[in-house]
Amino acid sequence: MKNILLLFTALLSVLNCSAQYSLVGDWHGTLDVNGAKLTLVMHIKDAGSGAMSGTWDSPAQGVYEKPCSSVTLSGDTAIIAMAVIKAQFRGTFTTNDEITGVWIQGGMHAMTMSRGGGKDDGPKRPQNPKPPFNYTSEDLLYYNADSSIRYGATITIPKGDGPFPAVLLITGSGQQNRDEELLGHKPFAVIADYLTNKGYVVLRVDDRGMGQTTGEVHHATTRDFANDATVSFNYLLSRKEVDKKKAGLLGHSEGGMIAEMMAAENKNVDFIIMMAGPGEKIAQLMTEQNGALLQTKGISQVSIDKYLVLYSKMVHTAISIGDSDRLRTAITEEVKDWKYKTPGPVVVSITGIHDETSEAAYIDLITKLFAHPWWHYFLGYDPESDLEKISCKVLAMNGDKDMQVVAKNNLQGLREALAKSKSKDYEIKLMPGLNHLFQTCHTCTFSEYQQLEETVAPIALQTMSDWLDKHVK
């Protein structure tokens, strides 16, 4: 769920037979990738003996002073490389203050670099909370039962006499810090600030391998992350400021899935709020997600439907086969059969397969992805059984412009499952105009996440707060 744009670097220096150019100094340029415009700032230094070194910034993504792996000059052409992200910029001086070239990273993108640091196009995130706070904020370290995992977290506590109702925030898929930070946005910092000011204790925690939290990540599944969240929830219940009868969970995306799992197992959970949590089988949800993404790329619905036949087959094969060698064999057969039955232009436009080499690369990519323990567990999850066991209060929210958890079928699945549950208090809300991050969107594509200044729509914050005040406080 988490499809984040990679960072890049670039710059150059040149010498030709009639003029000598200087690359040393600051440069800036704008890279346009699928409509997402990102400013890159380069800082080039003279390293002595004719050598140069450099660092780069991507202010919009909050990234600064990352080292260039090499800065080289040959004739009138300069090449700046970033090995860590497998990218490089190649360009030629048009004047001493401008370099025209291409950014190379899985493809080529035209880019011009101009002398000077340029305007700081760092992210404008007006909702990010800034001190002084009207509540207590405490950074924490605590451990699981056998002390094998340390958790780094922040708890925010309202002013006044407690105990207070409390909520644990659970991040979506991919490793994220306690603020669920993405592209300069800090959704959980915004939510924690808002709810704490409304009178709720809020605990937010670094994921495994992020920030101050330790723990093995490579083989971890959603079940492991749910175990981590249980440790954090138990810690929350141990705090004297918390009303133990009014403590619950707020999960975003995969975090909503974890909230379902925990609420089905733990009777101490008084409520859950699911922000784009799953209400249908993940296999179906991912198929719908792929269809929505392909629509944004201008692919015809007829072509999309043909591809989703293959995608659905591969997903169900991945669920049933855990061994990567057997999975590769099965997926190879499915891809070849689909390719044989599908018009060539459709095959190329969606999968990029145009010869045996590209076919092998596609099969290798899909196999490695679906054979990963996290994917294998995730794809096989069906929320129905957990939802039907829930007895706590539930608020389920879904943006109607969400392309990662498509709202229509997802909310219908939640509605049907919760109707069979033990919960007598649940509400399902379709949020008009909001995307997967619960931002008010315009194009509502993945690339727009970073471009929007809004981190969480005020209506989403108010909906959660009003529901908590009515059903919990």
pLDDT digits (tens, 9 = 90+) for 334-368: 999 999 999 999 999 999 999 999 999 999 999 99
pLDDT band at 62 (very low <50, low <70, confident <90, very high): low
Q: How far is CA 54 from CA 67, 78, 79, 437, 444, in A?
A: 6, 13, 12, 35, 36
Taking alpha carbons only, the member of 133, 141, 140 closest to residue 158 is 133
Q: Tell me the two tokens of residue 110.
A: 């035209």
Provide the pLDDT for residue 260: 97
DSSP one-letter code for 68: P
Between helices 254-265 and 222-238, what is the axis angle to 10°? Answer: 60
pLDDT band at 23 (very low <50, low <70, confident <90, very high): confident
Lowest pLDDT segment from 40-54, 267-281, 302-316: 40-54
What mean pLDDT is predicted for residues 94-99? Answer: 87
Provide the pLDDT for residue 294: 92
pLDDT digits (tens, 9 = 90+) for 168-213: 999 999 889 999 998 889 999 999 999 999 999 999 999 999 999 9
Q: How far is CA 342 from CA 326, 339, 351, 365, 438, in A?
A: 24, 5, 12, 20, 37
Q: Is the bond preceding 163 in cis, omega lying within 30 degrees of 0?
A: yes
Provide the pLDDT for residue 118: 67
7 compared with 270, residue with greater pLDDT: 270
Question: Per-residue pLDDT for 285 more than 90?
Answer: yes
Distance CA 435, CA 401 (A): 5
Beta-bridged to residue 138, according to DSSP, are 155
pLDDT band at 399 (very low <50, low <70, confident <90, very high): very high
pLDDT band at 121 (very low <50, low <70, confident <90, very high): low
Taking alpha carbons only, the member of 226, 88, 249 closest to residue 165 is 249
Residue-averaged pLDDT of the chain: 90
Q: Tell me the two tokens of residue 4.
A: 């984040």
Question: Per-residue pLDDT for 456 more than 90?
Answer: yes
**End-to-end Cα distance, the chain:** 32
Provide the pLDDT for residue 103: 86
User: Contact, 61 vs 183, CB < 8 A?
Assistant: yes
Question: Per-residue pLDDT for 3 more than 80?
Answer: no
Taking alpha carbons only, the member of 435, 458, 449, 457 closest to residue 60 is 449
Domains assigned to the chain: 25-115 (2.40.128.120), 135-281+381-471 (3.40.50.1820), 283-378 (no CATH)
User: Contact, 281 vs 274, CB < 8 A?
Assistant: no
Question: Per-residue pLDDT for 10 more than 50?
Answer: no
DSSP secondary structure, 379-445, as one string: HT--THHHHHH--SEEEEEEETT-SSS-HHHHHHHHHHHHHTSS-S-EEEEEETTB-TTS-B-SS--
Taking alpha carbons only, the member of 225, 213, 246, 214 closest to residue 170 is 225
Provide the pLDDT for residue 14: 29
Provide the pLDDT for residue 108: 80
